[in-house]
């Protein structure tokens, strides 16, 4: 019984010690998602911009 309590106490202490690392991993994943979303927004914005009067060399040659 004492050994069981000792093992459970060790697991609990380990879980409490890992909480800051888990929080840091969550923040890193959220930051990565934000970066990816920003890249997608920038790509969408570039795609939606008007091209202007520039004509590609393929169309110019035709």
Query: pLDDT digits over 6-62, tens only?
Result: 999 999 999 999 999 999 999 999 999 999 999 999 888 888 766 655 555 555 555
Q: For position 58, what pLDDT does the model report?
A: 58
How many Cβ atoms sit within 10 Å of the Cβ of residue 2?
6
Q: Give the pLDDT of residue 48.
A: 74
The tokens for 15 are 């879980």
Instruction: Report pLDDT for 61.
Output: 54
Separation of alpha carbons 46 and 62, rounded Å:
27
The DSSP code sequence of 2-51 is: HHHHHHHHHHHHHHHHHHHHHHHHHHHHHHHHHHHHHHHHHHHHHHHS--
């Amino acid at each position: 019984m004492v050994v069981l309590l000792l093992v459970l106490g060790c697991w609990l202490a380990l879980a409490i010690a890992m909480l800051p690392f888990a929080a840091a991993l969550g923040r890193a994943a959220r930051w990565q998602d934000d970066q990816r979303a920003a890249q997608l927004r920038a790509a969408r914005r570039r795609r939606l911009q008007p091209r202007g009067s520039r004509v590609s060399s393929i169309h110019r040659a035709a």
